[in-house]
Structure 1
Amino acid sequence: MTDSTRTRQRAWFDVRALKQDVRGAALDASVALVVTLAILVLLAWRIEAGTSATIVVMPDLADPGYWMYWLSQAFGWSGLLWAWITVVLGLLRSSRHPSWMPVSVARIEKWHRQTSLTTIALMFGHAFWFFAEMVRDNRADAGWAGRLWRAFVDSFVPGGYDSGTGVIAILIGLLALYLAIPLGLAFYARRALGTRVWRVLHASIIVVYVLSVWHTLLYGTSVWYDGPFRTTIWLLQLPIAGLLLVRLLRPAYRPGATAGDRLGRLVARISATATILVLLIVAATGRDGGRTPGVDGAPLTFTQAMIWLGFAVFALVVAALVVRAHRTARRRA
């Protein structure tokens, strides 16, 4: 490899910074694994105590042979927790730094990068152990090749799972995973992308968090019924919505002054305020559309076509904003 090739690689993607953050995330990832195991123990205890809503829906899963399924669930819960942590850190970093905060901006940004990498790893662990369980469970397929292929399609191909609520829930979860990787790693390509383009891409990663929560509410059998798991998920969204509003009102960098910029900020502030009000109402009343024990679930509200259409609209909006940011940066260069 020539010196010019190495220079171009460094200019496009900062591998050195990524390696440093991976090493720095070792402690964070270790804590995440401990939390994952603790959640696994909690899930097992709920099975033994007869309080697991999952067993109410699928009693066969009380069999110890399904330990990979439960490990997948534990990774899913810890992944959602770390996603919440990294979003909180990201919103704190992108808001104007208050004088009373004892932690520096640089330290918050470092934590944000490290927890983001841990979150991606936990999301992959969640999908991998679901894949492993599907391999074990697909006994009807002929041979290992058929079992592996069917499990791969069900677990890693968006739209491949074709049973029950998972038709939508797993599609949403996979979109979150496959968006998290490029949008999360875009930080290390920010010099090549340009600051404005990178900010647009980074801001859009909030959609990954929304999809992750939606995936959990749809497919997390522990949260189908009223109880501490579902209530906790909703309550944890209140600080996210509040910090998002703060971020819109007091951004860390100077916002644009064009009419389009002002209109965008107004729409974002109205949306964040409406979100906070909805979350407060849901948390206060407990009426969030969750399932009721003993009552058959309603048909799916969304179809895969609707999800793909929404994804296409999201991609087009982000692409338009990226083009706009790129043109603005070139005019000011």
Structure 2
Amino acid sequence: MVKTPVRAERHQRFDLPALRADLRAALPDATAALVITAGLFAWLYARVESGVSMTLQVMPDLADAGRYWMYWLCQAFGWTGLLWAWITVMLGLIRSSARPGWLRVQPVRIERWHRTTSLTTIGLMFAHAALFFAELVRTNEEGAGWAGRVATSFAEVFVPGVYSSGTGRIAILVGLLALYLAVPLGLAFYLRQATGSRMWRALHRFVIVVYVLSVWHTLLYGTNVWYDGVFRTTVWLLQLPVALLLLVRLLAPARSGERLRLRDASRRPGALPLAAHLAGRVAAAAFVVGLLVVAATGRDGGRTPGVAGAGLNVTQTQVWVGLAVLLVVIAAVIHRLRPAPRTPAPGPTAPTPAARPSGSGGEHGER
């Protein structure tokens, strides 16, 4: 009898060959992201050197661009990461929506672009955090010695809720949650052999939460120091096509089984799924309207030069409660869509035992 190696079966649960292939395909994509990051860094550096950066009105100590170059490189990676997050979300929404007749690109190619840009986005997010960590190690004076500075800076940058200064109390917490959720939700595709296709598709939909957290982090800690100018307005305007595509995705998904049919009673999925589908469409439509109002009025809560900014209206407790609710919802989805246990393949049929006299006490009677 030939036994299937247990290690090989476990290895197949994570699609490592597909991940390696996507990483190789992401090299041009990542190279383009690095080139754009370098351009943004040079631009930010020049703005600081010339004194026109609005950031200096909030943090005048950063006026020495040469000394704080790692901070400005961190900011450049953050902006590129947000741009790539926008690109990969747009590609994902296009791929999961009904294909319009004018779109000549094959869905397989769009899906491949979506996967490679997702991997690049995760790398940019990590580089953004790592450079901020390196900058804190260099400037942190609270720790005793090198080891103390490293430990303190690591906790402030990579442990959610530890950073306790100013806007960063919420902004860094939200950014870390986006980073830590992006890894399992973004890589769920490569676990589809273990979880099943329905499971990974359902988990991957929560990536939109990662994107929302990333935008929120930027508005709090990135564009908030740029005040309410062209940078902040650009971030808001970029959300309009995302909201519109999300609405299209909800109204006309690519998979026919996900389409909402109110008139076809025989295909109704039930009261709770129907209510969830309707709520998603209403929320997306309200988001589109809200973005239009913000873009038209320019009133988004950003700072105004010369005017003291308002305090934070969100607490860490509220963020943690929101995370707990999200994790409960994800756990419920995992429980509902968990794959059924595999039944072992039937072996060769055993020969039928010979008939025994009545009352012989045999064990092969009816059960």
TM-score of the aligned structures, taking structure 2 as reference length = 0.86
Aligned pair partner of 1:325 in 328, 334, 337:
337
**Residue in 2 that maps onto 1:207:** 209
Mean CA deviation greater in 47-56 or 19-28: 47-56
Aligned counterpart, 2:300: 288
Matches within 5 A, 1:1-333: 4-63=5-64, 64-221=66-223, 224-255=226-257, 257-259=268-270, 260-326=272-338, 330=340
Conservation of the 8 A alpha-carbon contact between 2:142 and 2:152: no
Q: Give yes or no for contact 1:223–1:229 (8 Å, CA) kept in 2.
A: no
**More displaced stretch, 202-211 vs 91-100:** 91-100
Between the two proteins, the alignment pairs up a number of residues equal to 329
> Which fold has the larger relative contact order, with Cα–Cα distance below 8 Å and residues 6 or more apart in sequence?
1
Cα 1:221–1:139 shift into 2, 3 Å: farther
| Alignment RMSD | 1.7
Work out which of the two has the higher radius of gyration on C-alpha atoms and give 1 or 2: 2
Structure 2, unmatched stretches of 5+, are 259-267, 344-367
Greater shift, 5-14 or 91-100, is seen at: 5-14
Superposition deviation, residue 322 in structure 1: 2.4
Contact 2:186 2:204 survives alignment (8 Å):
yes
Output the CA distance in 1 between the equivalents of 2:327 and 2:148: 34
- Taking the aligned partners of 2:225 and 2:249, their CA distance within structure 1 comes to 30
* Residue identity (%): 60
Distance of 1:221 and 1:108 partners within structure 2: 30
**4+ runs of 1 displaced by more than 4 Å?**
221-224
1:271 partner letter: A
TM-score by length of 1: 0.95
Equivalent residues of 1:76, 1:123 under 8 A apart: yes
- Give the Å deviation of 1:11: 2.6
* Structure 1 residue 141 displacement after superposition: 2.3
Larger fraction in helix: 1
Letter matched to residue 300 of structure 2: D
Q: Deviations over 1:159-201 (max 9, x none)?
A: 1101111011000000000000011011000121111111111
Task: Tell me how far apart the structure 2 counterparts of residues 70 and 36 of structure 1 sit (CA, whole Å).
Answer: 11
Contact 2:224 2:302 in 1 (8 A): no
How far off is 1:330 after superposition? 4.7
Q: Which amino acid aligns with 2:132?
A: F
Shift of 1:6: 4.1
Which secondary structure state, in structure 1, belongs to the residue aligned with residue 257 of structure 2?
Answer: coil
Offset at 1:20? 0.4
Q: Which moved more, 1:252-261 or 1:40-49?
A: 252-261
1:87 touches 1:206 (CA, 8 Å); kept in 2? yes
- Per-residue deviation, 1:52: 1.1
Q: Deviations over 1:58-97 (max 9, x none)?
A: 1111111100000100000000000000000000111111
Unaligned runs of 5+ in 1: none
Counterpart CA distance in 2 for 1:50 and 1:234 is 26
Tell me if the contact between 1:218 and 1:224 (Cα under 8 Å) persists in the aligned partners.
Answer: no
Q: 1:324 offset after TM fit, Å?
A: 2.2
- Distance in 1, Cα, partners of 2:245 & 2:124: 24
